[in-house]
Amino acid sequence: MLEIQTKQLPPDIALLEIAGRITLGRESKQLEWSVETLVGEGRKKVIFDLTGVTNIDSTGIGIIVMSAAQLKKVGGELRVAGATAHVAEVLKMTNVDQIVALHPTAAAAAAGF
């Protein structure tokens, strides 16, 4: 099951705390919709906190890349924080780390945003 909690970091950063699996299936659509909603609200700084993510597949990679492109299109930026073990390996193996900045923690991702 995929859980997403949206939090606000001062002054204007949206933090999406994600837990579970970002894999093929209807649940992953929630993440896409969350980003679409934030962009619709005029939000331009978004952090995906993947600390609680246990598995990610090509669907999850696609969502991260598309979300980054969607934010870039409106002059914003996506940062990824907290990817560990398997998730971090997949992000590096697929070169997502060359598209989106990876940070060890949400606080590190928010610094200088």
Tell me the domains of the chain and their CATH numbers.
Answer: 3-106 (3.30.750.24)
Q: Do the Cβ atoms of 59 and 90 come closer than 8 Å? A: no
Express each pLDDT in 25-77 by its tens digit. 899 999 999 999 999 999 999 999 999 999 999 999 999 999 999 999 999 99
pLDDT, residue 45, reads 98
* β-sheet with 13-22: strand ranges across: 3-9, 13-22, 45-56, 77-81, 101-103
The whole-number pLDDT of residue 9 equals 95
d(CA 87, CA 100): 14
5-28 average pLDDT score? 95
Q: Chain-wide mean pLDDT for the chain? A: 96
pLDDT of residue 1: 87
Are the CB atoms for 38 and 77 separated by under 8 Å?
Answer: no
Q: Shortest CA distance to 18 belongs to which of 59, 75, 60? A: 60
Residue 35 is predicted with a pLDDT of 97
- Which residue's entry shows tokens 């619709």? 40
